[in-house]
Structure formats: structure tokens, C-alpha cells
């Protein structure tokens, strides 16, 4: 599906978003849980959260922080692999010597 054929998701009002946000927070949920409950992708939910949070902050209110999402299994492994690549790259060259 290309950009021209995508249908735009119906907008979510601030009160509707905050109600869902509070329910997810109350259950110890993450932004992924919120996205699922609102039938949106995580990026859309983060953008809406930032927008709503800014407006609420102007009114002296802050949204509570949702539980952080756990990294997927490959996240840590891929960073370990990346660190090893840098170690190999920056390590002093090994002299070829006869034993």
C-alpha cells in the first residue's frame, strides 16, 4: 500500500487519549500497550503523547510516565555485536610473528 492509498486514522481527542493513557498507566502498561488499545502505531502514540503532554504542562499538569518498553531480544545482542566491531576496529594490530 503506498502513501496515496493509505487511509488516515481518525483523530483522537485529548480527553479520549488521556482516558486510555490513564487506564494503561494504572495497569502498569507501556506505550506499546497504549498504541494497541488505541489501534495506532507506537510512533503515532508517542507524537500524540508529546502534543497532549505539552498542552497539559501549560495548564500545570503532567502526564504520569508509562512503564518503559523492554528491549526486544536482539537489541542487547546487536549492541554487544556492535561494541565488538568497534573493539576490533580500534584494537592495535597484532604483529605476525613466527612461533
CA distance 63 to 46: 13
pTM listed for this prediction: 0.63
Instruction: Report which of residues 99 and 25 the model is more confident about.
Output: 25
Please give the backbone phi and psi of residue 84, each rounded to the nearest 5 degrees, phi first: -65, -40
Distance between start and end Cα atoms, the chain: 62
Phi, psi torsion values for 24, nearest 5 degrees: -70, -45
DSSP code of residue 60? T
DSSP 63: P
User: Is the model's pLDDT at 8 over the cut of 70?
Assistant: no
pLDDT the model gives residue 20:
96
Amino acid at each position: 500500500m503506498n502513501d496515496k492509498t493509505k487511509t488516515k486514522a481518525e483523530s483522537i481527542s485529548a480527553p479520549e487519549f488521556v482516558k486510555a493513557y490513564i487506564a494503561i498507566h494504572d495497569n502498569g502498561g507501556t506505550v506499546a500497550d497504549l498504541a494497541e488499545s488505541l489501534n495506532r502505531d507506537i510512533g503515532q502514540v508517542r507524537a500524540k503523547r508529546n502534543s497532549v503532554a505539552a498542552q497539559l504542562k501549560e495548564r500545570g499538569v503532567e502526564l504520569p510516565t508509562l512503564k518503559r518498553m523492554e528491549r526486544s531480544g536482539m537489541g542487547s545482542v546487536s549492541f554487544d555485536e556492535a561494541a565488538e566491531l568497534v573493539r576490533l576496529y580500534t584494537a592495535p594490530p597484532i604483529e605476525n610473528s613466527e612461533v
